[in-house]
């Protein structure tokens, strides 16, 4: 038998049929649903008189639109001030009720960002094929599942057929050797990877992240890495299953238990690439060389270490790249050559499916503990990824640390990562954000996003500008 990558193995176990040109049907074990990309799919089902193929494979929760202030959330659906958002959330409730789909509603303690809630509930399991109408579905690959984002037509297709039509991607291994320096995190690893291979570097590939530094990460850290596989162009990111993966899953509500758990784990332990498996492309990074990362531009690949500078377009010889840099600097209101540490901030956002889990909040709290947010910071908010993350953080007293330092403590949701709700970055304002995209207007019309780790965002909140988290006492 020839050697296989982890991706090859999951693909093969889910292959229902394949046409001559390679177009295949892949069986989907778990379909995650949120309010933004699903209404048209449910409407399509209704118009065609179709029913979900397997209602119990679906799992829904609203996250993109919902308010994060406690006052608004207390009132449930009626608390959503924006009437258009309210309709969308209500439509999800109605569709889930009509088609008998499990939903954690916005008033449920377990509600949260779908990519935080899925793994938290054990709805994400190793070896599954998972889809969701959301590009950050790649997050779930951290548990050894083949997971990627799909469009709304595909949401409808999966609802109706339990299958996804697609061609197999190529295999890429991104290996991060060695040990990460203190103060550097999973976020810095993945930003460094994107800086190296570019936002289209992974297009057409499924990326497996491996190597000593990836193995050393917690499961939550691995989720941060896989979450941003899409920012490197790859629809899916994957990490091999190990004992940490199994420990993470054990006992979660949707995970198997008893005899079935034993059988499942026996199977899941094989979810690793064979030692001599061939990858179409291999990229290697040294963990020791990775410093805390900060994006300066309007694409996640426009990233520099905290010790570095914003690039000087005059020094870029390639005219296309120079043009891209100029365009980004103009939007960001930055001058070429500026030290990253000299970038002043107006807003701090700690949250999103990239960095809103309990470990992220602990890391941020540790930095701000006993300190005060700089007076020049206009808005600083912490938005936990789920109701359960929020409860855990409160049990540990993290909420008090944040509030005493001057950060707002919010209710769970996507919030200012994409600013579909009221949490929007002001025009021209600079935000240190633990989210995943620094595109123009992403966090609000005219807003200027700098992607960083939770610890770096917290440190920036105190200083009012970027600082090297490694230099804090």
Partner 1 sequence: MNKFIVEKGLVLPLDRANVDTDFIIPKQFLKSIKRTGFGVNLFDEHRYLDKGLPDTDNSHRPINPDFVLNQPRYKGAKVLLAKDNFGCGSSREHAPWALEDYGFRAILAPSYADIFFNNCFKNGLLPIVLDKAIISGLFTEVEANEGYELEVDLEQQTILKPDGSKIEFSVDAFRKNCLLNGLDDIGLTLEESETIRRFEENWRNSAPWYFTTTSATTI
**Which one of 120, 156, 359, 423 is in contact with partner 1 (CB under 8 A)?**
156
By CB under 8 A, which span of 42-50, 304-312, 348-356, 405-413 interacts with partner 1?
Answer: 42-50
By CB under 8 A, which span of 29-37, 179-187, 376-384, 454-462 interacts with partner 1?
Answer: 29-37
**Residue closer to partner 1, measured from CB, 221 or 237:** 237
In 31-151, which residue ranges form alpha helices assigned H by DSSP? 39-48, 70-74, 83-98, 114-121
**Which one of 72, 77, 152, 339 is in contact with partner 1 (CB under 8 A)?**
152
Q: Is 99 in the site for partner 1 (CB under 8 A)?
A: no
Yes or no: say if 38 and 66 are a contact pair by the CB < 8 Å rule: no
Phi, psi (5° rounding) for residue 143? -100, 15
**Which one of 105, 170, 244, 256 is in contact with partner 1 (CB under 8 A)?**
256
**Residue closer to partner 1, measured from CB, 394 or 445:** 445
**Residue closer to partner 1, measured from CB, 280 or 288:** 280
Backbone angle region of 344, left / alpha / beta, with phi > 0 → left and psi within -120 to 50 → alpha = beta
Q: Is 437 in the site for partner 1 (CB under 8 A)?
A: yes
**Residue closer to partner 1, measured from CB, 448 or 465:** 448
Angle between helices 358-368 and 398-405 (to 10 degrees): 40
The tally of CA atoms less than 13 A away on the side-chain side of residue 308 is 15
By CB under 8 A, which span of 123-131, 239-247, 334-342, 460-468 interacts with partner 1?
Answer: 123-131
**Which one of 40, 70, 179, 376 is in contact with partner 1 (CB under 8 A)?**
40
How near is the Cβ of 212 to partner 1 at its closest, in Å? Answer: 29
Residue 352 to residue 61: CA distance in whole angstroms: 15
Residues 49-72 as b/e (b if ≥16 CB within 10 A, e otherwise) read eeebeeeebbbbbbbbbbbbbeeb
Q: Is 37 in the site for partner 1 (CB under 8 A)?
A: yes
The residues, ordered by sequence, that sit 6+ positions from 149 with a Cβ below 8 Å of its Cβ are: 131, 132, 133, 134, 135, 136, 137, 138, 230, 235
Q: Which of residues 51-80 bind partner 1 (CB under 8 A)?
A: 53-54, 56-57, 59, 64-65
Distances (CA, A) of 133 to 31, 32, 100, 161, 182: 9, 8, 19, 16, 36
How near is the Cβ of 35 to partner 1 at its closest, in Å? Answer: 9
Phi, psi (5° rounding) for residue 383? -120, 100
Q: Which of residues 172-211 bind partner 1 (CB under 8 A)?
A: 199-200, 203-204
Q: Is 166 in the site for partner 1 (CB under 8 A)?
A: yes
**Residue closer to partner 1, measured from CB, 238 or 365:** 238
Which residues share a beta bridge with 433?
349, 451
Q: Is 107 in the site for partner 1 (CB under 8 A)?
A: no
By CB under 8 A, which span of 2-10, 131-139, 221-229, 305-313 interacts with partner 1?
Answer: 131-139
**Which one of 51, 69, 72, 82 is in contact with partner 1 (CB under 8 A)?**
82
By CB under 8 A, which span of 256-264, 348-356, 359-367, 462-470 interacts with partner 1?
Answer: 256-264
Q: Is 218 in the site for partner 1 (CB under 8 A)?
A: no
Nearest Cα residue to 418 out of 431, 408, 402, 409: 431
**Residue closer to partner 1, measured from CB, 20 or 71:** 20
Place of tokens 């690893």: 189
Nearest Cα residue to 432 out of 468, 460, 472: 460
């Amino acid at each position: 038998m020839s050697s296989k990558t982890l991706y090859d193995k999951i693909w093969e176990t889910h292959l229902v049929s394949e046409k001559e040109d390679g177009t295949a049907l892949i069986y989907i074990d778990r379909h995650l649903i949120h309010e933004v990309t699903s209404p048209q799919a449910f409407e399509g089902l209704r118009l065609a008189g179709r029913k979900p193929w397997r209602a119990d494979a679906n799992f829904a929760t609203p996250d993109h639109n919902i308010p994060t202030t406690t006052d608004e959330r207390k009132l449930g659906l009626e608390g959503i001030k924006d009437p258009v958002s309210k309709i969308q959330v209500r439509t999800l409730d109605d569709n889930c009720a009509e088609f008998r789909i499990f939903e954690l509603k916005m008033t449920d303690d377990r509600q949260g960002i779908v990519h935080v809630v899925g793994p938290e509930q054990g709805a994400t399991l190793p070896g599954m094929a998972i889809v969701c109408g959301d590009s950050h579905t790649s997050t779930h690959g951290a548990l050894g599942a083949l997971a990627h984002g799909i469009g709304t037509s595909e949401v409808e297709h999966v609802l109706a057929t339990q299958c996804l039509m697609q061609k197999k991607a190529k295999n890429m291994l991104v290996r991060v050797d060695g040990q990460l320096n203190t103060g550097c995190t999973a976020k810095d690893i993945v930003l460094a990877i994107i800086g190296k291979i570019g936002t289209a570097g992974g297009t057409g590939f499924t990326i497996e992240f491996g190597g000593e530094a990836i193995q050393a990460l917690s499961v939550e850290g691995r989720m941060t890495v896989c979450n941003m596989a899409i920012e490197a162009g790859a629809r899916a990111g994957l990490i091999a299953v190990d004992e940490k993966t199994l420990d993470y899953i054990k006992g979660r509500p949707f995970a198997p238990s008893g005899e079935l758990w034993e059988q499942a784990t026996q199977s899941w332990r094989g979810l690793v690439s064979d030692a001599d498996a061939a990858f179409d492309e291999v990229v290697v990074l040294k963990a020791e060389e990775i410093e805390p990362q900060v994006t300066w531009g309007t694409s996640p690949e426009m990233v520099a270490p905290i010790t570095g500078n914003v690039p000087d377009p005059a020094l870029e010889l390639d005219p296309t790249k120079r043009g891209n840099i100029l365009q980004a600097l103009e939007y960001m209101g930055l001058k070429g050559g500026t030290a990253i540490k000299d970038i002043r901030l107006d807003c701090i956002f700690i949250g999103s499916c990239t960095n809103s889990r309990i470990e992220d909040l602990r890391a941020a709290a540790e930095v701000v503990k006993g300190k005060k947010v700089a007076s020049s910071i206009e808005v600083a908010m912490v938005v936990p990824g789920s109701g359960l993350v929020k409860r855990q953080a409160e049990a540990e007293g993290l909420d008090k640390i944040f509030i005493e330092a001057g950060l707002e403590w919010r209710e769970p949701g996507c919030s200012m990562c994409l600013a579909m709700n009221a949490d929007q970055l002001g025009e021209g304002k600079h935000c240190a954000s633990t989210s995943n995209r620094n595109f123009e207007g992403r966090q609000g019309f005219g807003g200027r996003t700098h992607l960083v780790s939770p610890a770096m965002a917290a440190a920036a909140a105190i200083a009012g500008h970027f600082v090297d988290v490694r230099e804090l006492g």
